[in-house]
Amino acid sequence: MTSDLILHLNEITVDMASIMFDCSLTSSSETELCSRPGSKDRFIVLVSLGNANFQGQIVIGFPESVMESEILNSVLDLAEDEDEKDELIQSSLGELVNTISGEYIVHDELTRKYGDLTLSPPLVWDQTEESCPRFTKSDGCSGRVKSESDSMEINTFFSVNPIKKVSTYGI
pLDDT digits (tens, 9 = 90+) for 55-92: 999 999 998 888 777 778 777 888 888 888 888 889 99
Q: What is the pTM of this model?
A: 0.89
- The CATH architecture to which 3-26+38-160 belongs is 3-Layer(aba) Sandwich (3.40)
Please say if the pLDDT value at position 15 is more than 80: yes
Q: Where are the domains of the chain?
A: 3-26+38-160
Amino acid identity for residue 5 in this structure: L
Contact status, residue 27 vs residue 5, Cβ threshold 8 Å: no
Provide the CA 77 distance to its chain's centre, in angstroms: 24
**Alpha-carbon gap, residue 34 to 41, rounded angstroms:** 17
Phi, then psi, of 4 in degrees rounded to 5: -60, -35
Contact status, residue 97 vs residue 9, Cβ threshold 8 Å: no
